[in-house]
Every structure is written in C-alpha cells, then in structure tokens.
Amino acid sequence: MGGCPGGTFGLARSLLTVSGAPSRTTHTREKPMRNLLSRLRHEDDAATAVEYAIIAAIVGVALIGTLIAFRDSISAMLNRAASVIQNQ
C-alpha cells in the first residue's frame, strides 16, 4: 500500500475498535484530530467565526421570512413600477 499507515481501511478499523482496546492506527489517526479540536476549543477566533455564522443564518432566515410575508405587496409594487415605465 502507498504511504498510509494501516492501509486503506485503517481509519475504519480505528473507528470500529472498542473503547480502551489497543489499536495499531489509533495513535496515528486520532492525535491530529484531537490537536485540531483542542486548538479550536481554546481559540477565540473559532468561537467568533461560529457566532458570526449564526448571526448570518438568523439574518438570512429573517430576510426570507419577510420576503415571503410581503411577496404580494412587493409583486404589486414592482408591477406598478413596470407599468409606469412601459407607459412613458
């Protein structure tokens, strides 16, 4: 196999091992992920990015809800504007 420790199914094998049971691939696969999760947990930038994403999602949902609620009014207004432009 190419330079992958544990072969192609090494990750699947490490995910299927029983908790606490020794695995050949546990130390090579889980450590980078643990480091990443630990870094994200302690960095304020990641929390700020998540907060901004939640705010953007809320604004998006509110905008869509507003457009749906007022779609008839918006449609009538745009139709009036189109007729005024056509009649000139």
Assess whether 33 and 57 both reside in one domain: no
- The Cα 51–Cα 64 span in angstroms is 20
Assess whether 68 and 32 both reside in one domain: no
> Considering the domain boundaries, does residue 73 fall inside one?
yes
Structural domain containing residue 33: 1-16+24-42
> Considering the domain boundaries, does residue 47 fall inside one?
no
pLDDT in tens, 14-52: 444 444 555 555 555 668 878 877 777 777 777 788 889
Assess whether 58 and 37 both reside in one domain: no
> Considering the domain boundaries, does residue 60 fall inside one?
yes
Which pTM value belongs to this model? 0.44
Kindly tell me if the per-residue pLDDT of 1 is higher than 50.
Answer: no
- Place 57 in a pLDDT band, splitting at 50, 70 and 90: very high
Please name the helix (run of DSSP H) or strand (run of DSSP E) that holds residue 83, with its range, or none: helix 71-86
